[in-house]
Amino acid sequence: MTTPRTLLLSLRPRFAEAILAGTKTIEIRRRPVNARPGTPVILYASSPLMAVVGTARLDRVDAEDPEIAWQRNQRTLGLSRQEYEAYLAGVTCAYLLRLRQVNTLNEPLPLHRLRRDAPFQPPRSFRYIAASDPTTLKDLVPADSRAPSSV
């Protein structure tokens, strides 16, 4: 069995906080995310925080018409209708990343510390952890727990 890649999600700090608090369980993306259920997720809060703040597991990714996605999920998206429409303007499909097993780091892992260990560039939206990324980042998800859990 192969281990899934670890997904690195870049989030505005308020959305990262809402995910960590459990009030936001779905993260939206404008483009497809090819990841299997159980994929480890690292949560990076963008400026002004600029730090890894937590981890999660991907429950699943749903691709839906933006209007249907809003009607079904508005309470767990963590943003207003106006923000939602502005973000998805011009796309015909919303990609909903449903998160579970969310964990807050005891201490945020700041960007300057990550860059001290290896070249590191946080994503604008998302990317997968690469072999060249800092060990401190890769160590957030122990190798033996990267296999998808049974649901």
In a domain, 97, yes or no: yes
Q: How many domains does the chain have?
A: 1
> What is the pTM for the complete model shown?
0.89
Q: With a cut of 80, say whether residue 150 has pLDDT above it.
A: no
Please write the tens of the pLDDT for every residue from 28-53.
999 999 999 999 999 999 999 999 99
Q: Which two tokens stand for residue 39?
A: 């994929």
In a domain, 149, yes or no: no
Domain of residue 26 covers 7-139
Structure confidence at residue 3 (pLDDT): 53
In a domain, 146, yes or no: no
CATH of the domain at 24: 2.30.130.30
In a domain, 1, yes or no: no
